[in-house]
Amino acid sequence: MWSHHRLTAGASRVAGEKRPKSRQEASWLLIAIPLLIAIVGSFFTPESIKDFTGLLSVVIWPAALLIIMSWFRPEIGRIVGRVTEFDAFGVKAKIQAELIQSAQEAKDNPGSNKSPTENQVERANEVKQIVGSNTDILRAQIDDLAEEYQSLRASQPSGPDRTRKMEIVVAKMRTIGLAAYPLRYDLANSPSPGKRLQAIASLQVKTDYEMLDWLAKRVKEEKPFVSYHALVALNVAAKGNSANQHRETLVEALRVAESGSQRFGTDTDRHSMLEQFRHRVERL
């Protein structure tokens, strides 16, 4: 208690000692500034004012601005940081708005899982524009959706209810599909099944014919839900405008996909999707 009073008293004395110094500085400035103005003014005639004004605009004002910026550098840094944070918050909010719309659409229309809807593709283009160069925000969103899928699969029993919920996640993955498209190779090679599903969702929105073999192998190597969506992506590729130019690649992808069809029966959605893929390839 005693030492606390001493510290408090000492702090008060130190604070008290600083105040007179501040008053002295203020008094000095009140005298010095007018004197400096008078001295500087004595060197200028009316004829030199124009030249002085030019000097002021070219040299003195920029120098003064730099001095002010150096004085308030911490405050300016904090303001810029807050603006950046606000901008990032706005980007996240806009992305979330698009995801909510896709999630609601998937909830209201369970059949939309067979192929990306026009609305999902439009939102994917919108999100691509929103994301821009904000790669960190995009990666965080990819992580969130991958975790959402994996959590649903791990925490809920297999059945129609879980499948519907996972389809809603895929609808959201399609919505960021174009923004995530440049990351498709990294996502495809990820040990995370949720991130591999994101790669597949991106390929449902925009085909990469060089990745058809990887998609075809998913039929055998992935869990049924991911396998099914790999077949959806293959069907999108087979009906694309460039499908005829990649017929041989599609034929090979069909062969690889069929080699994994022994894992599921003829009464499954995967079988139906594989049959659709076969018919589309045969018509090329």
Tokens found for residue 269 = 């959605």
CA pair distance 282, 284, nearest whole angstrom: 6
Q: Find the helix packing angle between 118-131 and 73-108, rounded to 10°.
A: 170
Q: E strand or H helix at 181, and its extent?
A: none
- Are 76 and 193 within 8 A, CB to CB? no
Each of the 284 residues of the chain gets a pLDDT tens digit; together they read: 444 444 344 444 434 444 444 455 445 445 545 544 544 455 555 555 455 555 555 456 556 666 766 666 666 556 554 544 545 668 888 999 999 999 999 998 877 778 899 999 999 999 999 999 889 999 999 999 999 999 999 999 999 999 999 999 999 999 999 999 999 999 999 999 999 999 999 999 999 999 999 999 999 999 999 999 999 999 999 999 999 999 999 999 999 999 988 888 888 999 999 999 999 999 99
Q: Report the pLDDT value the prediction gives residue 86, as an integer from 0 to 100.
A: 43
| pLDDT tens digits for range 111-137 | 777 889 999 999 999 999 999 988 999
pLDDT value for 66: 65
Q: Which pLDDT belongs to residue 137? A: 93
Q: What is the pLDDT of residue 88?
A: 65
Q: How far apart are CA 71 and CA 195, in angstroms?
A: 47
Closest CA to 96 of 134, 133, 132, 137: 137
* Domain positions in the chain: 81-206, 209-284
Question: Would you state the pLDDT for residue 171?
Answer: 96
Angle, alpha carbons 152-158-159 (nearest 5°): 110
What pLDDT score was predicted for residue 110?
79
H helices of 156-268, in order, are 160-175, 177-180, 184-188, 193-205, 212-221, 224-238, 247-259
What is this structure's pTM? 0.70
